[in-house]
Amino acid sequence: MLVMEHITTVDAVKFIESCKEGYVRATVTPQRLLLNRNSLFQGGLQLSSLKFKESVLSSREKSRKKFLNH
């Protein structure tokens, strides 16, 4: 079995769905679904949480919305 960690795109979901059942699985972290680039600046620049949000910066809003709606 293959486990893809922290998927964030519709393409990743489609890949997993295309595989034989039970051979490929995935995890999704909640912050990648809930946060986007704008989250970094809500309430002013939050330097204490910048490291946590850096991974979110790479996620595009369009991709995040598609992922949520899939």
Q: Is 4 exposed, middle or buried (0-12, 13-18, 19+ CB in 10 A)?
A: middle
Q: Is 63 exposed, middle or buried (0-12, 13-18, 19+ CB in 10 A)?
A: middle
Separation CA 58–CA 16 (nearest Å): 21
pLDDT of residue 26: 92
pLDDT of residue 56: 54
The count of structural domains within the chain is: 1
pLDDT of residue 8: 79
Position 3, amino acid: V
What digits encode the pLDDT tens for the residues 1-41?
Answer: 999 998 878 888 899 999 999 899 999 877 777 777 677 67
Residues 21 and 43 sit within 8 Å (Cβ to Cβ): no
Residue 33: give the domain boundaries: 2-69
pLDDT of residue 45: 64
